[in-house]
Structure 1
Amino acid sequence: MGSFIVRVIINGLALWVASWLLTGLEISTAATEKAAANAGLTNSADTVGIVLAYLFIGLIFGVVNAVVRPLVKLLSLPVTILTLGLFTIVINAAMLYLTAWLSSFTPVHLTIDSFFWTAILASIIISVVSLVAGLIPGTRNR
């Protein structure tokens, strides 16, 4: 259970880094949209709401990666072998896009402006951040 929580936090951190680097990837809630419309100063409640939004999207992303991704990887194994593993980036982008679609049914929304460029670059960034965070002692499964 503890490693699952760490994984959700790493996913949230990776999504934050990707949304910070890419302008086409955005996580928003009704509260952040309201604060942006008011153009006022953000307070600590807004910051907590934003952190919880990233963790919520990280949770959805983790569930999608745990449930859907193994099946997609198995079905696309011939293409992945043919492309020497580069098709994995497209699979990761598709999982991110599926997460965005699922989040459209929740109060927290992940929006991706372009499947090809934004989702591909975001999947690379998320993979690198997850790889680096996985190297931290105590985050790996034993």
Structure 2
Amino acid sequence: MMNFLVKTIANGAALAVAVWLVGGITLTGANAGEKTLTLLAVLLLFGVVNTVVKPVVKLLALPLFIVTLGLIALVVNALMLMVTSWLADSFELGFHVDGFWPALLGGMIISVVAWALHLAIPDRD
């Protein structure tokens, strides 16, 4: 359970870095506390999307993974970020991705930062 919590915090940090670096990804709130709560809610949505939707998309895109030697994973990550943005808009959360290119860049940043944090915080197994 502790490992899950640490990994979730690492993914939240990666999402915060993407919001900070990419101009087309916005997180709104009246103050820092509200932005933090919004980020936590978006992190929960992002986790659900990556747990439920991403495996289905990866299975359907399996031929593209083979043909592109895995580079389609960048597009899949961008799509997951866009789905998260759509869900956040549906729940009236202050998170929005302005299009595919910011989502692609944000997905790459999230992947790299999460990978680095997961290296720094290894599994207990």
Q: Same fold (TM over 0.5)?
A: yes
Aligned to 2:6: 6
C-alpha contact 1:11 1:55 (8 A) present in aligned 2:
no
The reply to whether residue 48 of structure 1 matches residue 33 of structure 2 is yes
Aligned to 1:42: none
The reply to whether residue 105 of structure 1 matches residue 90 of structure 2 is yes
Aligned to 1:21: 21
Q: Distance in 2 between matches of 1:2 and 1:67?
A: 22
Aligned to 1:43: none
Gaps of 5+ in 2: none
Q: Distance in 2 between matches of 1:24 and 1:141?
A: 36
Aligned to 1:132: 116
Go from structure 1 to structure 2 and tell me whether the alpha carbon gap of 1:141 and 1:122 turns closer, same or farther (over 3 Å shift). farther
Q: Distance in 2 between matches of 1:141 and 1:48?
A: 32
Any runs of at least 4 consecutive aligned residues in structure 1 with deviations exceeding 3 A, and if so which?
none
Q: Distance in 2 between matches of 1:2 and 1:56?
A: 19
| RMSD, aligned α-carbons | 1.6
TM-score normalised by the chain length of structure 2: 0.90
Q: Distance in 2 between matches of 1:137 and 1:11?
A: 12
Q: Which amino acid aligns with 1:13?
A: A
The reply to whether residue 69 of structure 1 matches residue 54 of structure 2 is yes
- Give the SS at the match of 2:94: strand
Go from structure 1 to structure 2 and tell me whether the alpha carbon gap of 1:59 and 1:108 turns closer, same or farther (over 3 Å shift). same
Aligned to 1:80: 65
Q: Distance in 2 between matches of 1:121 and 1:134?
A: 20
- Give the SS at the match of 1:26: strand
Aligned to 1:41: none
TM-score normalised by the chain length of structure 1: 0.80
Q: Distance in 2 between matches of 1:107 and 1:13?
A: 22
Whose Rg is larger?
A: 1
- Give the SS at the match of 1:63: helix
